[in-house]
Structure 1
């Protein structure tokens, strides 16, 4: 369906309303309904019927169903871990070794890097482990959600063993086949990794702002609020007070760190094993083929299910929780994910509206034209950023842009790896800071912070990484290797962050403003 400019109205309206009103769910509802009105030609009742049709279609999509199952099961597992007392015990254990606020943030970053195989699992698991510890050391929830989001997405873009790799490699393989290029898709992905400037910067930036104290913009204001008032956030993910706790009524105090680590380590091991299994590794014993063919969502469904069953039996054997009490705790955990499920349903629906209006195709069509070869990678990156930010669909952007980027790079005889990396990094940018992106939603939920507060504080950091990454892609238009562009990018990035901290750091915000803001929030 071709409607021209109207194709970008629903996502843009949703984003503007979400940022202006801080009511993401209402904004998504309005955006989806507006898009449906455009589809049916302005008929109000027809628009509502179309909206219901799209929501049902998205909820019953096999891939989305697996995501929802994983989210619900992980929520239930968080309830089980809390019931066992393992979360508190592990927090106390780390608390004896983590003695500073910087240490708490650095540990969150490290855990995010270690859980490299899936962004959803990364965000929810990291939040479950580190939220109590970061709260103890006075880390603002905005900062926690930023660290979780940056590492969860960033590491999936540069580690060649994740649920993202199979999808990206399949697109590369198809694009290479169409262009007549004889090269292994996985090998091509490996060669793209050094050119993924945005992903590397998003990971590195966490360490820079944490250990050098270089926060700026809304994040600096949030950190100063927490330091001066003790308020970890203004609102929780579901819109409640800053001190709301869904799990306080089910926790018992006899658990140990083992009661947290055993189910999580089993979950991680099972996830890796089932990823190889779904990729056919135990038939061919070829790791590359297994990675290219694996079904990440199915593997995680298997892994989480096994971990949940193990946790229930394990806690019963250890006499920490009766089976009935564990099931009750599991239900409490699943309830905590209800708002996440609703948000994901509407986020997917705005993507469904975009599919019918051909939003991605319209945005991509703006790119087509005569441009100098050295600007191609930069323009691809910028359009990928805009497309993902406006739709929230990272993999949708990849599906549109990689088949465009590969033949374009080959035809213009420019660095094809830099162009593919530009698409991958641009998708990462949108996944970090779009109010419609599912990983951003899950990161907000993991930190238990209002989603718009996470987006507001994340955007300046993501934009900084994106702007500096543009310089790297520009230089890669003149040189074939990645070393010089990366060196320039790193030096420029450090200088930029220092300058932004001096101009927009915590010193810009008055103490009175922080106290007044906290008082208004409590009222």
Structure 2
């Protein structure tokens, strides 16, 4: 059976590769004008500017819209790449500026790399092979045949790639290695088991509660919660599928509900629509974000779903999670028989040197310092400085071990084991980011949005936006990247429909549409095997990546379906 699946996977990849060559040589890209609205101003020296990522960016030489080679009417006649990639323009006066870009897509073919990666993941259960296959397909479609120099090096020689390597390979791996070397994780698990955790249910409840506490969301939440609860849950007999599901589904969903984090500041930049008073200023847009939280039905149901599972109520958990619960109850096996966890076993085994006595505070103190630095830096800088937090925790862990008499050689050995334990997961993460960049460059999200028209019945729009963002985020493995695509296109569409179809409560309609984009992106990111949070949830909990994907997608889909019903009912009865 394995050989047959392997052969089918190879044939599928070859067919996809031939298709990619055909697209590159025979299919002409469709060029699309993308309009981005920013809140512009005149700075102290009289120059036009706007703010992006907290930095002031100058606006140089805006031109009339009708003269721009990037307007849609000019792009429709374009036979090759436009002479420029972006340009500031104005329609009536320089008081009404917007940035326009020339993007392209290959219609539905733009989704091919992500589709190949996901299918190969499901067929081979080898994330590295699947992601590499998707990268090859995307590179060929873009005509980048020297994959090493034209794809991997440019994508890995970026600040975001370096940040990932430092954080997840050195800092996270080093910290987990130190906890294994000192026995701190095991000591903490023993203490929790004796005083607080009495079985699988209480272990899952602790996990769920920590997911609420670490409401910064995304990678930070999954790493913090996963590394904290892993030793406790293993000792209590919680299957890795259950643990990774609770960790993952209380990360981004919680961050979108308890939004005292970086999300509102990031997202508000995409919400400006000329002439819409309640979205006029940055404060207005942030207030709009918080006003829309009660309509984040998917996020609410996702968090409730994890709570129900933590209470051993499995009605909406789906068969994969039920099978995992039955397996661990009957056999004690935390993983399925064919599982291949993407973190090394040595990270989850004690390697304490002879004569060294572990103490739970060696786990608690670094963790507390991590939380304090992360939260303190958020209030000080507006963004949680994750690298500072993990660096402080790692150095504190090393200092305590040395102070207690552990030899420097043994400390370095623990640190090195930690690096080895997460190197495969780090490579998977890098590949996932690379295929996400290729998918975005191929314009899959733009194609999906462009396929929508302005003559959609208003009550259909929320579910269409939800499905669209689910597909984009699933294909690219990022919710924040999906926001950058979907909000600037989806909300103006929602406003146009609200005005042309005479809705008596357009602001409420906009809130619901906003929530569908926000939540649809979270769903796609959660369920995608090429998402960083999915990979990190699997890595920190010791779960097989595809086991996590297949077990999480069922309850997540239940939550998404129920949310879709409520969004549709809300706009039908109240707008």
The two structures have a TM-score, normalised by structure 2, of 0.75
Partner of 2:502: none
User: In structure 2, do the counterparts of structure 1 residues 64 and 157 end up closer, same or farther at CA, with 3 Å as the change threshold?
Assistant: farther
Partner of 1:381: 466
Structure 2 runs not aligned, ≥5 long: 1-103, 499-505
Distance apart, 1:34 and its partner CA? 1.1
Q: Determine the C-alpha separation between the residues in 2 that align with 1:246 and 1:182.
A: 50
Partner of 2:497: 412
Q: Determine the C-alpha separation between the residues in 1 that align with 2:496 and 2:426.
A: 43
Is residue 421 from structure 1 mapped to residue 520 from structure 2 by the alignment?
no
Partner of 1:520: none
Q: Determine the C-alpha separation between the residues in 1 that align with 2:237 and 2:228.
A: 16
Is residue 325 from structure 1 mapped to residue 410 from structure 2 by the alignment?
yes
Q: Determine the C-alpha separation between the residues in 2 that align with 1:166 and 1:58.
A: 26
Distance apart, 1:212 and its partner CA? 4.3
Partner of 1:262: 365
Is residue 190 from structure 1 mapped to residue 275 from structure 2 by the alignment?
no
Partner of 1:394: 479
User: In structure 2, do the counterparts of structure 1 residues 51 and 359 end up closer, same or farther at CA, with 3 Å as the change threshold?
Assistant: farther
Deviations 1:213-241 (A, max 9, x none): 3143111112211211221103242388x
1:94-173 mapped onto 2 (5 Å cutoff):
94-96=192-194, 97-172=196-271
Deviations 1:300-358 (A, max 9, x none): 11222122222222232233x33442232122212212112111111111112112211
Q: Would you say the 8 A contact 2:257–2:299 is kept in 1?
A: yes
1:432-447 mapped onto 2 (5 Å cutoff):
432-447=526-541
Partner of 1:307: 393
Q: 1:359 aligns with which of 444, 453, 461?
A: 444
Partner of 1:469: 563
Query: SS at 1:245's partner residue?
Result: helix
Partner of 1:276: 379
Is residue 5 from structure 1 mapped to residue 90 from structure 2 by the alignment?
no
Distance apart, 1:137 and its partner CA? 2.1
User: In structure 2, do the counterparts of structure 1 residues 163 and 228 end up closer, same or farther at CA, with 3 Å as the change threshold?
Assistant: same
Partner of 1:227: 329
Partner of 1:63: 160
Distance apart, 1:435 and its partner CA? 0.9
Q: Would you say the 8 A contact 2:525–2:531 is kept in 1?
A: yes
Q: Determine the C-alpha separation between the residues in 2 that align with 1:61 and 1:14.
A: 23
Q: Would you say the 8 A contact 1:376–1:477 is kept in 2?
A: no
Q: Would you say the 8 A contact 2:479–2:522 is kept in 1?
A: yes
Is residue 84 from structure 1 mapped to residue 84 from structure 2 by the alignment?
no
Distance apart, 1:59 and its partner CA? 1.8
Distance apart, 1:155 and its partner CA? 1.2
Q: Would you say the 8 A contact 1:233–1:449 is kept in 2?
A: yes
Q: Would you say the 8 A contact 1:75–1:336 is kept in 2?
A: yes
More helix by share: 1
Q: Determine the C-alpha separation between the residues in 2 that align with 1:324 and 1:239.
A: 23
Q: Determine the C-alpha separation between the residues in 2 that align with 1:29 and 1:480.
A: 48
1:34-49 mapped onto 2 (5 Å cutoff):
34-40=137-143, 47=145, 49=146
Partner of 2:342: 238
Distance apart, 1:5 and its partner CA? 2.2
How many aligned positions are there?
452
Distance apart, 1:135 and its partner CA? 1.6
Q: Would you say the 8 A contact 1:33–1:51 is kept in 2?
A: no
Is residue 31 from structure 1 mapped to residue 116 from structure 2 by the alignment?
no
Distance apart, 1:249 and its partner CA? 5.8
User: In structure 2, do the counterparts of structure 1 residues 74 and 479 end up closer, same or farther at CA, with 3 Å as the change threshold?
Assistant: farther
Structure 1 runs not aligned, ≥5 long: 41-45, 280-293, 482-523
1:275-294 mapped onto 2 (5 Å cutoff):
275-279=378-382, 294=383
User: In structure 2, do the counterparts of structure 1 residues 479 and 266 end up closer, same or farther at CA, with 3 Å as the change threshold?
Assistant: farther
More strand by share: 2
Distance apart, 1:247 and its partner CA? 4.8
Distance apart, 1:178 and its partner CA? 7.6
| More divergent stretch after superposition (129-138 vs 208-217) | 208-217
Q: Which has the greater radius of gyration?
A: 2
Q: Determine the C-alpha separation between the residues in 2 that align with 1:268 and 1:22.
A: 35
Q: Determine the C-alpha separation between the residues in 1 that align with 2:548 and 2:149.
A: 29
Where in structure 1 do 4 or more consecutive aligned residues deviate above 6 Å?
A: none
Query: SS at 2:188's partner residue?
Result: helix
Partner of 1:504: none
Q: Determine the C-alpha separation between the residues in 1 that align with 2:412 and 2:452.
A: 53
Q: RCO (CA 8 Å, sep 6+): is it higher in 1 or 2?
A: 1
